Amino acid sequence: TGFTKSLKVTSLAATTPGASDYFLLQQHIEGLNSAQLGWGAAGAKTVTLSFWVKSSLTGTFGAALRNSAYDRTNVQTYAISSADTWEKKTITFTGDTSGTWLTTTGKGLSVGWDLGGGTDFDAASTGSWLATNDFTTSSCTHLVATNAATWQITGVQLEVGDYAADFEHRSYNDEWLRCARYF
């Protein structure tokens, strides 16, 4: 309720990812916007990722936060329990006290949703920070492995703290003004 648009991915073939192949939806967050997290130092803040997802497949899917060098990652999983039904997911990530996290106009952090990653990207564990470039697990469902499978997402928020607030619907004018600095 309240969302009129979503991003939809459709698998156009049954693809088995090779070890170094990956199919990933990513959102990069500018370092100026993530600097407040204080990641890479003591006192790093916890964040909560929330989103609505719908897929023609059920199962376990991966989501991860990674730094710009892709040498720090925290992989977590979420379950889609009912096919073709919107489900709200909430994942909390502790702040990373290690690694290098840009606080400039460069990529401060990346949020990624796995749609089919090869074994080179399987995390050894979930829910903790690793010095790797992983974003999935060996138990995750690969959307791309099923021809015509679909996956949709909307209402994405990444917030400081350990709970998800209601989605902040901003006016078109407010959103346009926030984007104007990039032109």
- The pLDDT tens digits for 62-116 are 999 999 999 999 999 999 999 999 999 999 999 999 999 999 999 999 999 999 9
Using the 8-state DSSP alphabet, how is residue 135 labeled? -
Contact 62, 26 (CB under 8 A): no
> Helix (H, G, I), strand (E, B), or coil: what is residue 174?
helix
Q: What is the pLDDT of residue 181?
A: 82
The alpha carbon of 100 is separated from its chain's Cα centroid by a whole number of angstroms, namely: 19
pTM of the model: 0.95
With a cut of 90, say whether residue 4 has pLDDT above it: yes
- Helix residue ranges, H only, the chain: 31-34, 172-179
CA distance 169 to 155: 9
Q: When comparing pLDDT for 1 and 52, which is higher?
A: 52
